[in-house]
Chains A and B, each alone.
Chain A
Amino acid sequence: MFSSFLIKYAEIGIKGKNRYLFEDALVRQIKYALKKCDGEFVVSKTPGRIYLDAESEFDYDQVIEKLSHVFGIWGICPVVRVPLCPPEELCEKVVDYFGRMYGEQVKEKETTFKVFSRRSNKGYALDSMELNAFVGEKILDAFPEVGVDVHNPDITVTVEVRDKIYIYSEIIPGPGGMPVGTNGKGMLLLSGGIDSPVSGWMVAKRGLKIDAVYFHAPPYTSERAKQKVIDLAKKVSAYTGPIYLHVINFTEIQLYIYENCPHEELTIIMRRYMMRIAEMLAVENEAQCLITGESIGQVASQTTQSLAVTNEVCTLPVFRPLIAFDKEDIVNISKKIDTYETSILPFEDCCTIFVAKHPVTKPNLGIIKRHEHNLDEKIDEMIKTALETDEVIIVTEE
């Protein structure tokens, strides 16, 4: 039935002179999303809206599914597209559309509607006011049970007269946000947990391209744990496009810290080195920020004091979109973006030996720094090795 989609976007609409940049990015992202759909499509841009016309057979559900993952889309309207025709014939088409969409519904309950016409093809016989009245009347003739309400209708049938005629009335909500690639790039610290994928998704929604880093510590973390992180990156990449996942072997550094620093401070010192390495990777890969899934007070290393001490090693901004979220809210988002089921798989790393029974919750920066001097002899060399042995996996949605 539908052969076109009208794509509405939200925030881009309020941009100024660089608005075209955002629109072009959105078109690009839509085209990318459609690559994975069967069928041929033409994407065209007109002021304020984007049209997507199917030029061949296609799978409706698949297209909706893919489009609902494109940031920047506020709503998707499935459109019936018919060739330009005189008003009488046009009315037949609209009545036919109305019957197919709402024929059942109007018999069952009281329903009101209005017709909203737009005539960008100024040569057309009727102007938009005339079209509204003309089409509305025909609908009333065909469906005597419906009523007209121009202020607050249950159904708004939009008829657009362009080089073809577009008829639509439904809006499927999109994810909102801004098109990926319009706001720079971030390096996401991705673990196998619930928070970090959500965090990456949230920041990407604001238009950032995402790279990710995972700290792998074999034999303390298993291949399965690594695969889980790759699977999570895949889920996120359904929204963000390809993710360059950097797998950093962290074992040597972790053991070195273990042997040379107080046990209660292991986690905090470890995190400081993770942030340092992530920042180096970010700079190397032209990312302008780090992204973490930290949330105040969730664990010992995420108290405000600990966050301050961790943050101290970075010069790039660290985006922590979940900072004030309750766990339950994070879980809800992870369910929505389909990362939850993967996140809770039980391949937790067996890093428990690195977790002190009573880790510091109020670390003192001066003391931590002093203890880090115990690592002076080898740590730079180890970081260098870790970066040199970085395994880059390009993760794309299947």
Chain B
Amino acid sequence: MEVYLDNSATTRVYPEVVELISKIMLEDYGNPSSVHMKGVDAERYVVEATKQVAAALKVNEKEILFTSGGTESDNTALIGAVMANKRTGNHIITTKVEHPAILNTVKYLEEQGYEADYLNVDEYGVISLEELKSKLRPDTVLVSVMHTNNEVGSLQPISEISKIVKANNPATLFHVDAVQGFGKAEIYPKKQGIDLLSISGHKIHAPKGVGILYIGEKVKIKPITYGGGQQKGMRSGTVNTPGIAGIGLAVKMITSGLKEECVRLRDLKKYFLSEVSKIDCADVNGCRLENGEYIVDDTAPHIMNVSFLGLRSEVLLHALEDKGIYVSAGSACSSHSKKESSTLKSMGKDMPHMDSALRFSMSCFTTKEELDYVLDVLREIVPFYSRFTRK
């Protein structure tokens, strides 16, 4: 049996999306900027995708920018916004548990002379609104907070953050990295007071190499790359028609029936956590336990982070791999570097927790049978490998 539980790293592309992209590549392969019929045909796909995304987010079509993925969306949002709003100030607030696409961009901006504050999180990976209030300044130009944490699945109080930020200074921009959250939660920028929102295609069953940045119509922003002036000059470069059409369809598919799907995934999560926690050395990260039950409603429906104390996550990961089960150790994006998980560390977890943490992340393709198989395998291999620990 093959069980893919690494959907926070990347997802399988929807067959319908593959079909559409394949048709565009083979038949409607024109450049949307061309004036002839091939170009016009291609442009239709971009218009359609823009409509689909705008409808899903309940925003205007002109507020949608297509990018190469989450990292570019984050870079454009942060660099483009602070550059265009120098008058507001040069202070940035973000959190300690952001994805490197945010953390390293903010670090770059610090090198350029901006000041930055990084908010702490509690043991469940959630920021404190009080701390946010205390860090806000009149010259805060941008606040960037992720919607869903990629390592433990904690959710940040987006609407509340927005209210606090805007009450402090209406000119301060609020960016949300929704790469992990979009498609697994209801996200409506206008309703939630979000000025800039990043989405990645390959986390929602579209291909790699395409992403979205929502830019509220009143937001002043500058492009970060220059060229032929495509997408109203905000992102030059030949428009990625197949990718854009693909992400448009994927957005439409993943947001239809979203509520029911979130309920289904949360039930699976609750089941998995309650079962996995019965294994001797297992300890669930990022989820409250009340009266013997894990409270999953205030966490992401699809991400589960569990430490198997005394084991090494890589060993367990490869042992699972041998049984056809694919998971991540901590955050897939940083698993090649030796440094410990920044989210778990920020949550105050000790080395044994960080060394042994595995992330299981589900998608719409995940079934209960698959989880049962994973649980069976864990029940078998965890006690076995627990016998061999470093002396």
**Which A positions have Cβ atoms within 8 angstroms of B?**
218-223, 255, 258-259, 263, 346, 350, 352-353, 355-357
* Chain B residues, Cβ within 8 Å of A258: 388
Say how far B381's CB is from chain A's closest CB, in angstroms. 9
List A contacts of B87 (CB < 8 A). Answer: none
- Name 26 A/B residue pairs within 8 A (Cβ), A-sorted: A219-B317, A219-B318, A219-B319, A219-B320, A219-B321, A219-B385, A220-B318, A221-B318, A222-B318, A259-B387, A259-B388, A263-B391, A346-B336, A346-B338, A350-B312, A350-B314, A350-B318, A352-B312, A352-B390, A353-B315, A353-B388, A353-B389, A353-B390, A355-B390, A356-B391, A357-B391
CB-CB < 8 A to A350: which residues of B? 312, 314-315, 318
Chain A's nearest CB lies how many Å from the CB of B316? 7
Seed contacts A218-B319, A220-B318; 5 additional CB < 8 Å A-B pairs:
A219-B322, A220-B315, A350-B312, A350-B315, A353-B388
Interface residues, chain B, CB within 8 Å of chain A? 312, 314-322, 336, 338, 385, 387-391
Contacts of A352 in B (CB 8 A): 312, 390
Instruction: Report which residue of A220, A221, A259, A352 has the largest number of chain B beta carbons within 10 angstroms of its beta carbon.
Output: A220
Could you tell me if B391 and A218 are in contact, using CB atoms closer than 8 angstroms?
A: no
Residues of A within 8 A of B318 (CB): 218-223, 350
SS of B interface (majority)? helix
Shortest A127–chain B CB gap in Å is 69
How far, in whole Å, are A201 and B389 apart by their CA atoms in the complex? Answer: 37
CA distance A357 to B389 in the complex (A): 13
Question: Measured between alpha carbons, how far is A218 from B317 in the docked complex, in Å?
Answer: 10
Chain B contacts for A357, CB-based, 8 A: 391
Smallest distance from the beta carbon of B175 to chain A beta carbons, Å?
Answer: 33
- Least distance between B100 CB and chain A CB atoms (Å): 17
Cα A52 to Cα B263 in complex, Å, equals: 74
Nearest chain A CB to B387 CB, angstrom units: 7
Cα–Cα, bound, A291→B322 (Å): 31
- Cα separation A220 to B316 with both chains bound (whole Å): 9
Closest to A220 in B: B315
Which chain A positions have C-beta within 8 A of B322?
218-219
Most central of A219, A221, A223, A355 by chain B CB within 10 Å: A219
A346 nearest in chain B by CB position: B336
CB distance from B57 to the nearest CB of A (A): 39
Nearest-neighbour CB distance to chain B for A88, whole angstroms, equals 63
- Asked if B314 and A353 make an inter-chain contact with CB atoms under 8 angstroms apart, the answer reads no
Question: How far, in whole Å, are A258 and B390 apart by their CA atoms in the complex?
Answer: 10
User: Which chain A residues border B390 with CB–CB below 8 Å?
Assistant: 352-353, 355
Query: Min CB distance, B182 to chain A, in Å?
Result: 31
Complex formed: what's the CA distance from A353 to B389 in Å? 6
CA distance A346 to B390 in the complex (A): 21
In the bound assembly, the distance between CA atoms of A346 and B318 in angstroms comes to 16
B389 lies within 8 A of A219 (CB) = no
A-chain residues with CB within 8 Å of residue B312 when the two chains form the complex: 350, 352-353
- For A266, the closest partner residue in chain B by CB is B391
For B314, B320, B321, the residue with the greatest tally of chain A CB atoms inside 10 Å of its CB is B314
Q: CA of A356 to CA of B391 in the docked complex: distance in angstroms?
A: 7
The 8 closest A-B pairs by CB, nearest first: A219-B318, A219-B319, A353-B390, A350-B314, A263-B391, A219-B315, A222-B318, A350-B312
Cα–Cα, bound, A223→B385 (Å):
18
Q: How far is the CB of A373 from chain B (nearest CB, A)?
A: 21
B380 to chain A, nearest CB (A): 13
Docked complex Cα distance between A218 and B314 (Å) = 10
